Amino acid sequence: MIRSLLKSNRQRGELDLKKKLTAIVPDISEQYTAFRLDGDGRYLREKVRGQHAFQTGLALRAIERFREEKKVDRVNVVDIGDSAGTHLRYLEGLREGLRIDIASMSVNLDPEAVKKIRKQGLHAVQCRAEDLHQREDGISADIFLSFEMLEHLFDPISFLHSLAERSNCAFFVITVPLVYRSRIGLHHLRRNLPHNFDAENTHILELCPEDWDLLFRFSGWEVVFRDRYTQYPGAGLFRLTKYLWRRRDFEGFYGVILTRNNAWSRRYRSW
């Protein structure tokens, strides 16, 4: 599976970016609140680094597009659901090549995640994603980021619609797990596990790309760029590992860059 990941990264041309990200943030052991990465060996680190390269690549594309369209030298980036501040540190480390200053902020419901991010000198606020638009301090962003967060929300439609209607962001960068048939997650319930579970480790909706795209349009967004990252290469013998990934994990991740467009959402009279 490690070889599968590396071949995918190489085929997508993301090995160099992956190396740069590793140099910027060498230690990602505390990427998640529920568990540490350092005890899981090379496989999980390669998996997460590859995922980060995909996500950061999308963010870089959105920032470059914003710079070209707006002709400005500063961009406000807000990472919703950020658990460690890692992606914002990546962007800060890559800032020279972007030719634009980055002002950043993280948002997370978990107080431990917020504390962890603030310890690194980053700006973080504790807030439920669905309540972000109601904050009196008026969080503003040119670009929102949300990586593997939508599938954890009770109501992703209201969340997306509220940001589309009540923010002035230029772009929203989103990644979600890649599945080819939409389904309810709730894997703890499905397996009748006896222990408690929380938002960080609970998927509620796991939708296929086509259904996510419909939901985006319905909620007031337009897809301006989309990409599918698979954890196996698209050609060669190692492409067959997709069946192994399908059994043990997600095959990959679906990513989009959205811009606000209410052409469809305004036709729905019951918001």
Contact 251, 178 (CB under 8 A): yes
Residues 102 and 250: their CA atoms lie apart, in Å, by 32
Residue 40, pLDDT > 60, answer no
39: pLDDT strictly greater than 80: no
Q: What is the mean pLDDT of residues 37-48?
A: 80
Which amino acid is it at 215?
A: L
Does 138 score more than 90 pLDDT? no
Domain housing 133: 2-267
pLDDT in tens, 187-228: 888 888 888 887 778 999 999 999 999 999 999 999 999 999
Q: How confident is the model at residue 89 (pLDDT cuts 50, 70, 90)?
A: very high
For residue 230, the domain's CATH number is 3.40.50.150
Tally of structural domains, the chain: 1
- Beta-bridged to residue 105, according to DSSP, are 78
Handedness of CA 39, 43, 44, 45 (dihedral sign): positive
User: What does the pLDDT read at residue 191?
Assistant: 86
